[in-house]
Amino acid sequence: MSAPTKYLLSEDRLPKAWYNLQADLPQALPPVLHPGTRQPVGPDDLAPLFPMSLIQQEVSTEREIEIPEPVRDVYKLWRPAPLIRAHNLEKALGTPARIFYKYEGVSPAGSHKPNTAVAQAFFNQQAGIKRLTTETGAGQWGTSLAFAGALYSLEVKVFQVRVSFDQKPYRRAVMETYGAQCVASPSNETVFGRSVLAERPDHPGSLGIAISEAVEIAAQNDDTKYALGSVLNHVLLHQSVIGLETIEQMHMADTWPDVVIGCAGGGSNFAGIAFPFIGQALRGEAPKPRIVAAEPAACPSLTRGRYAYDFGDTGHMTPLAKMHTLGSTFTPPGFHAGGLRYHGMAPLVSHVKELGLIDAVAFQQTECFAAGVLFAKTEGIVPAPEANHAVKAAIDEALRCKREGKAETILFLLSGHGHFDMQAYTDYAAGKLTDQHYDEQALAKALDGLPQVA
C-alpha cells in the first residue's frame, strides 16, 4: 500500500477574507426579480428574510470580504481542512495522473455546510436575531445550522422533507441533540404547508415546499430570519474558504490542477472549490484549470435544465433568479444523494456555465457508488453519496489520462463523509440500488410552466 500524503496548512494560514467571484466576472450576474412585480429586487425587499450584512454580501462586487475573527475562531475547530494525495487510488487505477482531494468531512457535521452555517448564524446573531428557520432534505444542512445555532445561542427551526424525516431519523436526532426543532414538511405550522396537506394529506414533501414553509415563518416574525444552505451568492461566498485554502495547498504540493471537480446540487460546494481557481485565471494570475461540475443524471439542472428565470421554492414566495432549472414543479426521482435533489442551480454557477468557464457531466447513482466503494477501499474514507459524484468524475478523468498517457493533476472536492448514509451503501452492496430516471414528459411540463419574464 502507498500511504496518502496530506498537505495541512497551519491555522495562521486560514484565509482572512472570503473570495467573491462577482468582482472578477467579465459580465455581471443578471438581477434577481421580485416575485410580484418581476422588477429587480433591492436590499429592502430581502430584509424580511436576511440581516442586512448578508444582503450586502449577496449583492457585493468587492473581491474580498473579511471573515470576522469570531467566525475564523469557530472555523479553526476543524479548518484548515486537509488536502490529500490519493496515491492508493492512483495505483488501483494504474493511472499516470496525480489525484488530490480536499476533504471537508472533518467538520463536526461531517460536510462543508458548516462553513456557511457558522457565518450565517454569526451575522444573524450580530443583527439581534433570535431564531432561524430553514429547510433540509437528507439533513446535512439542517445539522450544520443546528450546530451553528447551538454555538451562537440561536433557536433553529428546521423543516425537513417528510420522506427524509421518516426514513432518516438519525440526522434528526443530531439536529435535536444540538437543540434545534425539527418539523416534517409539509406541516400544519404554515399556511402553505396546510394548503399542500389539504390537497394531499400524505404528501412526501420536497425541498421546494420546505423552503416555502421556512420562508413563510421568517417573513412573519421580526426576530426570525431565514437561512439557506446553498444557491445564494453569500452562501457560495462563504464556501470560497475551501478553494482559497486549496490553492495554497496545491502550492505546498508543488503542482497545479489541470482539472478541478466538484459535485453540484445547489452549487455551493462546487463553487467553494472552483471559484477561487476561476478568479485567479480571470485575473491572469494562474493557468485556468478545466472545471467540471458533476451532477446526478436523475436531477440534471446544468446538463438538461433551461437557463431561465425561476422561483427557488414551490410556493413561489422567493424572488426569481436566472439559473439552470428543471422547473420549480419538477420532482426528481428518489435517488440517494439527497443533497443534490434540487430543481435549480446557483445563479452564479449557472452564469459561469453560460460564460463557458465550466463544464458539467451527469452520472447515474450506481456508477457513483461503485466509485465511492473503490475510494473507501483505497483511501480509507467512505464518501457521502453526493461526494461520490465528484469521485466518479475524478476517476473518469484519471482513466482518460491513462488512455492518453498524460500525467495530469486532478483535484476534486470530497465534500463530506457517508457515515449517515450507510443504508444506501447497504442497498448498493445488496444489488438493490437501481439507477433512477426522471419522467421526460414531467420535465417538459415543468419547463413549460416556467414563469414568464419580460
**Which residues of the shown chain bind a second copy in the complex (CB under 8 A)?**
1, 3-6, 8, 10-11, 70, 73-74, 76-77, 84, 88, 106, 108, 110, 147, 150-153, 169-174, 176-179, 373, 376-378, 380-382, 417, 419-420, 422-423, 425-426, 429
* Min separation Cβ 260 and a second copy, Å: 22
- Distance (Å, rounded) from C-alpha 18 to C-alpha 15? 7
Q: Which among 291, 259, 214 is positioned nearest to 409, based on CA atoms? A: 259
> For a second copy, which is the closer residue by CB, 121 or 345?
121
* Min separation Cβ 437 and a second copy, Å: 26
Residue 118: enclosing H or E segment and its boundaries? Answer: helix 114-126
Pairing of strands 320-325, 259-263: unpaired
Query: Do residues 6 and 83 touch, judged by C-beta distance below 8 A?
Result: yes
Instruction: Tell me the CB-side half-sphere exposure of residue 118, using CA atoms within 13 A.
Output: 25
- Distance (Å, rounded) from C-alpha 353 to C-alpha 264? 12
* Min separation Cβ 205 and a second copy, Å: 20
> For a second copy, which is the closer residue by CB, 150 or 286?
150
* Min separation Cβ 145 and a second copy, Å: 12
- Distance (Å, rounded) from C-alpha 436 to C-alpha 341? 12
Name the grid cell of 96: 499516470
* Min separation Cβ 426 and a second copy, Å: 4
Give CB contacts under 8 A, 24+ apart, made by 304-307. Answer: 304/362, 304/443, 305/343, 305/344, 305/345, 305/447, 306/447, 306/450, 307/350, 307/353, 307/354
> For a second copy, which is the closer residue by CB, 344 or 383?
383
> For a second copy, which is the closer residue by CB, 147 or 311?
147
> For a second copy, which is the closer residue by CB, 74 or 196?
74
* Min separation Cβ 386 and a second copy, Å: 16
> For a second copy, which is the closer residue by CB, 108 or 333?
108
* Min separation Cβ 423 and a second copy, Å: 7
DSSP bridge partners of 131: 155, 224
H-only helix segments in 380-421: 385-404
Query: Do residues 394 and 412 touch, judged by C-beta distance below 8 A?
Result: yes
> For a second copy, which is the closer residue by CB, 14 or 278?
14
Residue 94: enclosing H or E segment and its boundaries? Answer: none
> For a second copy, which is the closer residue by CB, 389 or 417?
417
Amino acid found at 251? H
The DSSP output letter for 112 is S
> For a second copy, which is the closer residue by CB, 177 or 220?
177
* Min separation Cβ 385 and a second copy, Å: 12
Signed CA dihedral, 139, 140, 141, 147: sign only:
positive
* Min separation Cβ 374 and a second copy, Å: 10
Residue 190: enclosing H or E segment and its boundaries? Answer: none
